[in-house]
A and B are shown apart, each in its own frame.
Chain A
Amino acid sequence: MTALQDQVAEFLAAHDPKTLPRLDFLRARFDAGLAWVYFPPGLGGQAAPRAEQAGVDAAFAEAGAPDNQPGRNTIGLGMAGPTILAFGTDEQRKRHLRPLWTGEEVWCQLFSEPGAGSDLAALATRAVRDGDDWVVTGQKVWTSGAHNAQWAILVTRTDPDVPKHQGMTYFLCDMTAPGIEVRPLRQITGEAEFNEVFLTEVRIPDAHRLGAVGEGWKVAQTTLMNERVSIGAVAQPREGGMLGVLTKTWRERPELRTPQLRDRLVQLWVEAESLRLAGDRLRQQLTAGAPGPEGSAMKVAFAELNQKLSGLEIELLGEEGLRYDDWTLRRPESVDFTGREAGYRYLRAKGNSIEGGTSEVLRNIISERVLGLPSEPRVDKDVAWKDLPR
């Protein structure tokens, strides 16, 4: 037993998860420094090695303790939290990290825009200083969970007269503020997991600015880096995820099998297993304190694999593959790539190579930052944002 495991045991002895109300339990766990143990003392942690986190979570789970429902607040936990820790004032950290971790406040991410996808730094949502406030107007898109969120991380354009990377500022945005309108964005699956968010003269106090004026790109880089680290951060069992769905069908439905499908299935089995092992290797490198650049490669491979697996599943199902479970517009609380039926899985997987950096952008990153090949020509580098063609 490590010292942390002892602490968990002591904490559980003093806080019975069976009798204590869920939120009280989570708040007490945060205050005891047993939430994200690698965070600093007073902010839910105790500056322990990051590798210890999994063991602590497992110990709480084993005791039947309530968790903070990470699936409902992936943006908050994976991206907003680390960014607030890195760039927030003491006041901002104190105010936000606790309700973020307990899930009392769910976060969303106001980054992408209709005119700024892969080229995020081209974004056009304007923030203009007005006394102690900023007045923000613009449109954001692909905002997952905006309909459940109380807070958002937001990147805006504060200076259109300088090149695009220099004129951005990062804010923490109260999603209940007047002038914010969230509209469901219906996807090819029929549901609306994402939203469009319209901001019309939304007033954000300067105290909610994260990082310096004009430093928004730097702050956003931290957010995006954490997004890529969080992909593949959890150990998978063999035959987990999409592959497990497919092998289960294969074993239970002998009438669907053909030799040709079998070899394709085994090929994908091999791909999935090697990707799983590569993920294990990456995590072992991170634990040993030497982060490898494999993360982007993992994401490209994961997207491709999911698309191939879900495509094969439809073929395997034959006639059933022609049917779809439900086209009704709904707004799910959390995302499960393997949830619902084969058709949904096939269509949802198409997003895996677009969200969180398209596979094309990630291949640029791999080839430039890992392999050291020349960068793409940058025709927009020295041009003021307002003069860029759009």
Chain B
Amino acid sequence: MNSPDLLYSDVEEDLRASVRALLTDRADAAAVLARTESTEPYDLGLWRTLAADLGAAGLMVPESLGGHGASARETAVVLEELGRSVAPVPFLGSAVLATAALLPTGDELLSPLASGELTAALAVPLTTAPGSPFPATVRADGTLTGQVRTVADASAAATFVVPAVSTSDGPGLYAVDSSAATVTEVVPLDLTRRIADVTFSGATARPIVLGPAAESALDSALSTAAGLLASEQTGLAEWALTETVTYLKGRYQFGRPVGGFQSLKHRLANLYTELVNARATARYAADALAGGYDVPIAVAVAQARAAPVAVHATEEAVQLHGGIGMTWEHPLHLYLKRAKSDELAFGTPGRHRTRLAELVDLPG
């Protein structure tokens, strides 16, 4: 077995610092909160800076295909920072999901995706888990017809990568211009990652890859997204813990800082312990995805562990903030909503445990 590298390299720390500086500057809590109720839920200016100027969109794409030739490890660091800020950018949908689906195909869309010129989305429900059957809600017979519900970052996408099934070719991935689709935004639980139902009615489509290669490209994308989402969840949990610690040091009741009461201290110590564990699984999944070893187990463990930790950390943050935690003005609710939605994304923890039981031979 490979010996995994679970730390952050200097290059990764530099990348983190750049992303954090950008997000601190352009996506503070007030700005993110205000945008949730604006007519432009995505901050496309910020997205351009992140994707193009910092090069975050092309990290997983080889240089020969127009990318930066880094790996899932660096992408994971960006997701940690995005988790810490819940910045409204379509990074997961475009730079992770759509890009990962195209990577095994070497498709021409990779170059504009990597440079940040193009924003795309993979047309699958956000709840689709790795190992799921190939989706069959869209038919491909010359053109595409059908509907995909609950697609993440769909309203920011100029191009859709659509899994569809045709009578002659079986499963395939198709490129569809967003102008050829009907995108209906739904009201999302998570205000900082939009979801939409996408309908195709005889939409013009270009086949990208057909047959078993399409199935494996889709599964690889879902696996990559599920594994890397654990880094976003680590970022969410870390923010919730840090924010709560800061608040409890400054909040006085009964004549002393509330953070000095043992019942609260121990809950925060437990969260810290959970965070240490979640981070280890997230780093392992990122390293496994980057190195191409032990991926199915690493991904299942990371989602089974990090998803509930992010939910627990944000739920505890709400409780320990007391009344202020229930208000709209405090950004905490954005993190709770993200964490709870992330728990369903790419398979629930229960689903990943079921998969894991098969992978590690724990028969029912």
Contacts and interface: CB of A to CB of B under 8 A. Distances in A.
Interface string B251-284: 0000011011010011011101100111111011
A239 B361 CA distance: 12
Contacts of B4: 277, 280
A284 B361 contact: no
B265 A277 contact: no
A363 interface: yes
Interface string B323-364: 000000000000000000000000000100110110011111
B249 A269 contact: no
Contacts of B245: 371-373
Interface residues of A, number: 45
- Which range holds the interface residue count of chain B? 35 or more
Contacts of A250: 362
Nearest to A257: B364
A280 B269 contact: no
A364 B301 contact: no
The SS class assigned to the A binding surface is: helix
A288 B357 CA distance: 35
A283 to B, nearest CB: 9
Contacts of A297: 269, 272-273, 276
The SS class assigned to the B binding surface is: helix
B266 to A, nearest CB: 4
B284 A269 contact: no
Contact of A257 (B5, B260, B262, B363): B363
Contacts of A371: 241, 245, 265, 268-269, 272
Interface in B108-133: none
A319 B272 CA distance: 39
Contacts of B364: 257, 259, 262
Nearest to A280: B6
A266 interface: yes
Residue of A247, A270, A285, A366 contacting most chain B CB atoms (<10 Å): A270
Interface in A251-296: 251, 254, 257, 259, 262-263, 265-267, 269-271, 273-275, 277-278, 280-281, 284-285, 288, 294
B301 A370 contact: no
Interface string B57-73: 00000000000000000
A314 to B, nearest CB: 18
Nearest to B281: A274
B63 to A, nearest CB: 29
Residue of B269, B272, B353, B357 contacting most chain A CB atoms (<10 Å): B269
A259 to B, nearest CB: 6
Interface of B: 4-7, 241, 245, 248-249, 256-257, 259-260, 262, 265-266, 268-270, 272-273, 276-281, 283-284, 301, 304-305, 350, 353-354, 356-357, 360-364
15 contacts: A247-B360, A263-B353, A277-B6, A278-B277, A294-B276, A300-B273, A363-B265, A363-B266, A366-B272, A367-B266, A371-B241, A371-B265, A371-B269, A371-B272, A374-B260
